[in-house]
Amino acid sequence: MPKKVLIAARSFSRSKEAKAILEAQGYELILNPYDRPMTEAELVEMIAGVDALVAGNDDVTGAVIAAGAPDLKIIAKHGVGYNNIDVSTAKQYGIPVTVAPGANSQSVAELAFGLLLACVRSIPQMDCSIRAGSWDRVTGYEVGGKVLGIVGMGNIGGEVAKRACGFNMKIIAYDIYPNPEFIKNYGVTYLPLPEVIAQADFLSLHAPSTPGTIGIINRTTLRTMKKTAFLINTARGDLVNEEDLYEALSSGIIAGAALDTFAKEPLENSPLLTLKNIIVTPHAGAATHEGVIRTGLIGAGEVVRVLSGQAPHYAVK
């Protein structure tokens, strides 16, 4: 009987490089039949008898893991943010959860920077306005000399800081583990979170979704931001209270925002979509050809290692 790998992560299933590694092992690949992340119920229905699960942003709950045990040997996250996976239940069943550290950092950092520039120069708004028949020029701001605040200075935050140096920005950051390399290489100044939020002209979020970060951008913290500031979130939607952000954007508490991730995805019927000073993308930070290949190769390698009895390289602790 061939080993079975359920590939819920749609990006992985489109990567012939990653699939080839699994196919070379003779594994049977079962693909996510939906054009979106899989729900708990859908995963529960398909997980029985599966040896490995490659997950994107699918709902890998405790019930899914319980339904997969004892056959399920590994859950390989196609990416780095594993807040959608019940790691503690996986641990109880002795199932390693692996990630692909750094594999999509450049892709996400480039989108974050693209969003930052799109916000401050109103690029999507001007494009829309020309298509609607006008030739209105929006006067924006330069980013050189401005303060970029980064919350979560890890792999992606570091890549964002590297790019900000090229734009001659002043970089301040908050992280629970300051990294001296970022101070040395990119001149990052670490500050307490309230100071980063208050001093930033652009506030870019790159921390994981954890009990310590959920809702860090809320009514109270938004009111401490500069009125001219822009918020960029390519981390996880639940870091931002969306109702409070709506209020801040519609009442001039901050100047604008760009969001790639949302509390509930896909984003549907959100009042945020009625605002002109917000730009949205569909959780596309990691969606580049290069990033998807790197991420898929790491995930496939982890699956092969574990299914052949070896320890994974990048298990979540």
Ligand X SMILES: O=C(O)CC[C@@H](O)C(=O)O
Q: Which span sits near ligand NAD by CB under 6 A: 44-52, 88-96, 149-157, 250-258?
A: 149-157
Question: Are 294 and 268 a contacting pair, CB within 8 Å?
Answer: no
Number of residues this chain uses to bind ligand NAD (CB under 6 A)? 32
CA atoms within 13 A on the CB side of 308: 10
Task: Give the integer Cα–Cα distance in Å for 301 and 217.
Answer: 37
Q: Would you count residue 154 as binding ligand X (CB under 6 A)?
A: no
| Radius of gyration (C-alpha) of the chain in whole angstroms | 21
What track of x and - describes contact with ligand X for positions 49 through 78 (by CB under 6 A)?
A: -------xx--------------------x
| Rounded least distance, CB 43 to ligand X, Å | 15
Closer residue to ligand NAD (CB): 155 or 250: 155
Q: Which of residues 150-209 bind ligand NAD (CB under 6 A)?
A: 151-157, 174-177, 206-209
* 3-state percent helix, strand, coil for the chain, nearest multiple of 5: 40, 15, 45
Number of residues this chain uses to bind ligand X (CB under 6 A)? 10
The reply to whether 283 belongs to the active site is yes
Choosing from 206, 236, 294, 305, the catalytic residue is 236
Which residues is 231 bridged to in the sheet?
A: 203, 257
Task: Give the integer Cα–Cα distance in Å for 121 and 230.
Answer: 11
The reply to whether 313 belongs to the active site is no
11 binds, among ligand NAD, ligand X, none (CB under 5 to 8 A by kind): ligand X
The reply to whether 78 belongs to the active site is no
Question: Are 252 and 239 a contacting pair, CB within 8 Å?
Answer: no
Active-site residue list: 236, 265, 283
